[in-house]
Amino acid sequence: MKIIPAIDLMDGHVVRLVKGDPKNKTVYSSNPLEIAKKWQSAGADMLHIVDLDATLGRGSNLEIIKKMLPELNVPVEVAGGLCDESTILEIGKTADRIVLGTLAFKDKETVLKISDSLGKKKIVISVDQIDGKIAVDGWQQSTEITLLDGMNEFLQLGFSEFLLTSISRDGTMQGPDIESIQKACSLENANVIASGGISGIDDVKQLKKLNLYGVILGKALYENKISIEEAKKI
């Protein structure tokens, strides 16, 4: 199971939100590259860099991310508001993985076209869910698509990489949504990264039993409730 710190960017700063709410924000650093290198040095298997401004339609941190990528020697997946085909293809040249959520559920044709260029293994389908239903547009809009239906549709198209975020747990440190994660991991050929609610090492131990591809560490990491080093020992 890969240990993957999140680096969420807003106005060029490293932040954490609670349940995706920009009004409930904690700023941890004004130097994203420094934080990325810190987690890299601590032994992170991968970094998860999110452009929250792009996700929320209020700006972009893309130039910062572009400058960060060549400076890092650990795999990086880039997420957040990636809806423009040319931008995705450009970022895809230097990032190891591209996370697509809203675009995936609104324009599958474009996602398939992008995957023809980058390869399906490089595309991570973001299945952000609340109450078992997929949410899009920066978690502002709920759909009627269930988590498993959404995943199965992409599995049938040949995609295998998924990022499962339980919105109601994100940034809360109230523990992961084990039920949803178990369901997702039960799907054949699905490599699932779980995100949302991690509070400490016991949660990571619990998730390790579920055959996950990886786990995102967010607020608990920034609040020193868990370290990459101890998570890696599990």
Tokens of 40: 């890299």
- Amino acid code (one letter) for 178: I
Longest dimension (CA), the chain: 42
Q: Which of 51, 53, 128, 170 is catalytic?
A: 128
Tokens describing residue 92: 């895809």
Active site residue 21: no
Q: Looking at 8, 170, 177, 203, which residue is catalytic? A: 8
Residues β-bridged to residue 134 = 129
Catalytic annotation present for 128: yes
Which token pair is 202?
């016991």
What residues are labeled active site?
8, 128
